[in-house]
């Protein structure tokens, strides 16, 4: 009997030592719009992210954080006015979630609203569609990166340039 208890205890301890897989997070559309760029811009240059633009343009209501599941968002506001066609490099309004392994998921270019503040939420609004930073027009930029290296695998096979998406559609999955 004592030997069986030792074996059972050893089995429980070994289960605790098995690394658990990180939970996958689904990325949905920030609003209804068209995917205007993915890994490459329409011009052919490397982009390494997804851009979504609505047909409503600058100031379109409600850019939502794209990641499904309660995660903490660090919202940085660089521009408080209505900027639709860029105001210079490093001037983008940004919402960022940093994962435990150091990867960061970014949403960029939105306009500041009363919803633009740091918080933990599931698909909350962070601003309105805009073009802050190094943008050539109003859109939302969704990107995962670590130390300057962009990860494109999270959206590969989920969405394509030119596709119309809405808030319920899956753009990709973050592992």
Classify residue 79: in a domain, yes or no. yes
Would you call 161 helix, strand, or coil by DSSP?
Answer: coil
What percent of the chain clears pLDDT 90, i.e. is strictly above it?
82
Instruction: List CB contacts of 82: < 8 A, sequence separation 6 or more.
Output: 58, 59, 111, 130
Find the domain containing 107 and state its range.
21-168
Q: Quote the CA–CA distance of 24 and 20 in Å, as a whole number.
A: 12
CA distances from 76 to 40, 117, 127 (A): 26, 8, 11
The more confident residue out of 7 and 107 is 107
Classify residue 10: in a domain, yes or no. no
Task: Look up the CATH number of the domain holding residue 163.
Answer: 2.70.70.10
**For residue 141, what pLDDT band results from cuts at 50, 70 and 90?**
very high
Average pLDDT over residues 94-122: 96
Is the pLDDT confidence value at 8 over 80? no
Classify residue 8: in a domain, yes or no. no
User: pLDDT value at position 12?
Assistant: 42
Domain count, the chain: 1
* Token reading at 128: 């309105």
CB 25 within 8 A of CB 67: yes
Classify residue 2: in a domain, yes or no. no
Classify residue 145: in a domain, yes or no. yes
pTM to 2 decimal places:
0.85
User: pLDDT value at position 14?
Assistant: 40
């Amino acid at each position: 009997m004592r030997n069986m208890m030792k074996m059972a205890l050893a089995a429980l301890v070994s289960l605790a030592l098995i690394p658990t897989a990180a939970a996958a997070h689904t990325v949905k559309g920030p609003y209804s719009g068209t995917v205007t760029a993915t890994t490459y811009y329409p011009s052919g240059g490397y982009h390494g992210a997804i851009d979504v633009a609505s047909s409503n343009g600058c100031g379109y209501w409600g850019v939502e954080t794209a990641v499904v599941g309660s995660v903490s968002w660090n919202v940085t506001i660089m521009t408080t006015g209505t900027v639709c066609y860029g105001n210079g490099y490093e001037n983008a309004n940004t919402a960022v979630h940093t994962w435990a392994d150091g990867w960061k998921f970014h949403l960029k270019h939105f306009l500041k609203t009363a919803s633009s503040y740091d918080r933990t939420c599931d698909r909350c609004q962070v601003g309105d569609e805009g073009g802050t930073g190094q943008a050539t027009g109003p859109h939302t930029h969704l990107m995962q990166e670590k130390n300057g290296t962009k990860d494109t695998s999270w959206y590969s096979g989920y969405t394509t340039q030119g596709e119309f998406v809405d808030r319920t559609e899956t753009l990709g999955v973050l592992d």
